[in-house]
Structures are given as C-alpha cells and as structure tokens.
Chain A
C-alpha cells in the first residue's frame, strides 16, 4: 500500500495526543503551582528506500548503486509520534490571598556542578492515620509546588487533595491539638522566607508581635530535586520521584552549599539565599494561555492537512482500483 497513508495517520494520532496535552494545560490555567507540559514530537526511525528489481536505473546523487544490489533511493521517515510530555518548571506568577495557610514558593536555585537543572518543591505524603506520629516513609513522599493548604479536623496542615504537608524531618505538620505545642497555633502560624515555622503571639502589655519557633516543627520540608524532568507526574498536583540523583532536603542542600563555599569550590551560593517562601500568597499556574491557544490552532490546521493528504492518497488509490485496466473507459 502507499506508505503516505500510514505516515499521515500517525501524524493525526500524534496531533491528537498533543491536543490532549494542550487541553490539559488549558484546563489547569487556575490550578495553583501547576507546571505546563510541553509535548515533544519525534519522527519514527529512519528507513532506507530502494528500488526493487532495478539495477539499471539512474544513480541517486551521493548514493552509488552497488552491482547486483537494488538501487537505493534515499532515506524516509514513516511518520511521527508524540514521544514525551516534558514539564516546564518555570516559576509561575504569584498572587496574594491573605490566607495564613497559603504559601508561595519562589526559587532561583542554580544548576549543580554537573549542569543539572535543580528545582525546589514542598514534600507532602499520604500517611495512614495510625502512622502520623512517625516520619513519612520515603516511598510515600510526593513533591508539589501547590502551596494552597488548609488545616484538617485533626489539626494537620494538608493540601486540597488530603496529602499531609511535611516538615524537614518528613513529619506531618500539626498546628492544632498537638500535645507538644501546648497551645494551638492555628491562624497564628508564621512561616518566614526560609520556610521556618513560628507562632505569633501578641504581648499583652507592649502589643508587639513575638515569634516563638514551633518546638516540634522547625522548618518546612522543602526538597531540592536535581533533574526534575525525571519526576513522574501523578496528577492531583503531585510528582513522584523516580530519578537517579537523590533528593536533598533543604537543610542538607544548604549545608553542602556552605561546605562548598568554605572549600572554595564555588564563589557564590547556589542554594542559600536563592529561594523564598511568601506566606499569604500562592503561586499561580505557569500556563501561557495565548501560546497554548496558538499551539491548539496550529495543531488543528496540521491535523486538517494530514487528513487532506489521506483523502488525496485515497483519491489516487481510487483511480488505481476503478480506472486502471478498465476497457472502454
């Protein structure tokens, strides 16, 4: 059969996948911390075409005909497929919500010494009720950029999907009803730009705000993920880690940073001072609506063009089937 039919059909299929990916980006235009996926198209493996039973034909320039071998015409790709959807981890805009449980994460962490991209995430986990007192298991930990949290009925800080927000020792953060806290922190929770958690109290006499560190939760569980492209997107705003470079907690990343600075390995800090959390704000989705819409329109037209190719080839085939060989035509 004519190869072009399959080539165009594969094009239509790939474009359909791309449209789904674009539609999902657009659907999440208001999802806090959403990172858009960019569809990557790739050609099918290359083939060499040759003329069968034809030794006397003209040489194709650059490709000489071998005696006794079929004449080579040239290379051909038989279509296209969507090979992957790469997330774009660029920082989204931040917007103010004035809610104490909303936290925007901004980062400008530099690539590591091997040039790998590094991104900062909150670590969250789904934990069984009975295991809440222990640190979360490594396999349960997920990473998210969505800092749109609330407090559940047991007083734990949770995401909208029910994942527990973790501190730097992978422990679920409890800000109400925690026996170790003595009093309930609740709305008086204060998270500074380094992710350190404190309780705000107002001095009854001087009316000044006083900050006391939470005894059980020193710091938010920020995670430095090297090569974030290897993260598996699980949906519901979380990523699962399946890469080969271990995830570093923020404390460790900063310690390594300090050690390297002291040793003179590099001159400027790559982690410390290059990120910040902003309480009462949230990070918006980084989907660009105009770019997504334009891509959708070009997908539509390309899809249409592929369909036209199929109909044209079909017309050719029709001629072959119905007209060639007809007597008295």
Chain B
C-alpha cells in the first residue's frame, strides 16, 4: 500500500528538519552563527488507474487519479539576518555590522613541514586572540580554530612584537602602539552566501585556489556600508522562541504522519482478515 511509503517519506524529512532545529538550538550561543531554515518539497506525483472514457465527460480535472508519493526535505536555507551585538570590551573582539565576512587562513603541511596548501575560510566570528606564530615569525590574530585573520589584500596580519593599546576603527583600520603603519582588516562581500560550503567550526569555505588572493573572486564589503565594531561580538541569530515553535510544529507533523502510518497499517490488517474465520 503506497500510503505507508508516502507517510514514511514525510517522517524521514521531518526527522531531518528536527536535526536542523536541534543544531540551531545547540548553537544558540555560538558567536556569529547563522541559523538554517528547513524547507520541504513535494515528491513526484503519479497519475494512475485511468478510468473508462465515459467518466471523462463528468470530470473537471485531467484523466486518471493522482497519487502523490509524499514529501522530503528539499533544502535548508541559510538565514543571514544580523545577530544582536554583545559588548565584551575585549580589544581584539570585532563585530561586523552589515553583510560581510572575515577571511581567515590556515596552512596545511605535509610530513616534512612544508606548506602544501592553504585553507581559506570565511567567518562572522570576530573573537580573535593575539599570539605568537612560528611560521609567520611574529604575532598574529587568530580564531579559536587556529585560522589567522587576513588584511584587505588577503595576506596574514603579522606584528613583529606584541602590540598594545589596540584600536580598530569602523572602516577596518587596525592601529596600535609600536606599530609602524596601520593595517586594514579585510571584510569581504559574498554575493551568494547560500552557495558557500559550511565546513563546521563556524567557518565557510571561501573556495579560493592556493595562493589566489580573495580579490580575484570577492569584493571588499566596506563599499556596501559595512562597518566594524571593536570590543563587541555578534551573537548567533537563533531565536529561542522561533526554534521552539518550529519544534512544536515539526513534532505535530511527525505525530500526524505516524498516525497516518497507523491507520494504513490497520487497513492492511483489515484486508488481511478478509478470510480469517
């Protein structure tokens, strides 16, 4: 009986939507996290059991009866709404106001400690730490995953000595005591962030070839009115109430479909008992 498969397909999709909601909820306190919204879609529809031609005169719809085959989770769309800003007063914390991403990199080395590749990642997480880096032979700003922040030409920002009295202006200029010239933190505009691959650790794959600068593919976001805010972080844009109401919605849909499975099962049972005496 097809209806069992129909309801099962929907339940599978709903379960994936539940996973998505659970992931959103678990990242409710992740800096710069962007929630995903589950979106369902219909599966194919079949036209079957074509009726006798005499029937066609009395009907409005095209011939045959339509039997759908259920639903599935079509996509999970990124919700790019701005998260609320959280004041931290840590000088190396930066929040992006507007649409834009920091570009961070990490070197990938082989067994002989030779750099073979470089990961280029986008992030909205502006929680950086200043520490010494062996490769760069200087102090760098890096994320919790160890990726180094880059400037407006895509090269790593390196300071020869630990800098003090850091100040970051809204247009991205980074200046500090004992620094010869200010560097500019790069913020990049991504036309279609939905297409970026999410690689975990709050990072998106920038899909840049090894040693190719971000200018080859992206434009600076400062032109679009993006500003930086020092001493603040962008909270996740997950809203507890929204996710909870979504959870209730999903759970009810799951229950309804499981009832449908139950009823179909009872009908099969009834058909089985046709000759049971």
Q: A interface vs B, CB < 8 Å?
A: 12, 15-17, 19-24, 26-32, 34, 37, 39-40, 42, 45, 81-87, 97-99, 101, 146, 148, 150-153, 155, 160-161, 176-177, 184, 186-187, 202, 204, 227, 229-237, 242, 289, 292-293, 296-297, 299-300, 303-304, 307, 310-311, 314-315
Contacts and interface: CB of A to CB of B under 8 A. Distances in A.
B195 A153 contact: yes
Interface of B: 1-3, 6-7, 9-10, 14, 17, 37, 39-47, 49, 51, 54-55, 58-62, 65-71, 74-75, 77, 79-81, 99, 191-192, 194-195, 224-225, 249-250, 252-253, 256-257, 259-260, 263-264, 266-267, 270-271, 273-275, 277
A174 to B, nearest CB: 12
A229 B61 contact: yes
B191 A176 contact: yes
A204 B47 CA distance: 57
28 contacts: A19-B3, A19-B267, A20-B3, A20-B68, A24-B69, A26-B7, A26-B257, A27-B10, A27-B257, A28-B68, A30-B71, A31-B42, A34-B42, A42-B58, A84-B59, A85-B65, A99-B79, A153-B192, A161-B41, A176-B191, A177-B191, A186-B191, A187-B80, A202-B224, A204-B225, A232-B47, A292-B256, A297-B263
Given A20-B2, A233-B45, A289-B252, A27 B75 contact: no
Contacts of A315: 277
Contacts of B68: 20-21, 24, 27-28, 37, 233, 235
A18 to B, nearest CB: 10
A148 B194 CA distance: 13
Given A23-B2, A237-B41, A300-B266, 11 more contacts: A29-B253, A29-B256, A42-B55, A42-B58, A85-B66, A151-B192, A161-B41, A233-B45, A236-B41, A289-B252, A307-B274
A17 B49 contact: yes
Contacts of A236: 41-44
B75 to A, nearest CB: 5
Contacts of A26: 7, 10, 256-257, 260
A19 B67 contact: no
Interface centre among A204, A235, A293 (most CB of B within 10 A): A235
A83 B43 contact: no
Given A289-B256, A296-B263, A307-B274, A85 B61 contact: yes
B60 A86 contact: yes
Contacts of A15: 267
Contacts of A19: 1, 3, 263-264, 267
Nearest to B193: A187
Contacts of B40: 28, 30-32
Contact of A83 (B39, B59, B194, B224): B59
Nearest to A28: B71
B51 A83 contact: yes
Contacts of B66: 21, 37, 84-85, 233
Nearest to A12: B271
Contacts of B253: 29-30
A28 B277 CA distance: 39
A300 B41 contact: no
Nearest to B43: A235
Contacts of B274: 307, 310-311, 314
Given A30-B40, A161-B41, A235 B69 contact: yes
A98 B249 CA distance: 19
Contacts of A296: 259-260, 263
A235 B44 contact: yes
B64 to A, nearest CB: 8
Contacts of A39: 65
A23 B7 contact: yes
B192 A155 contact: yes
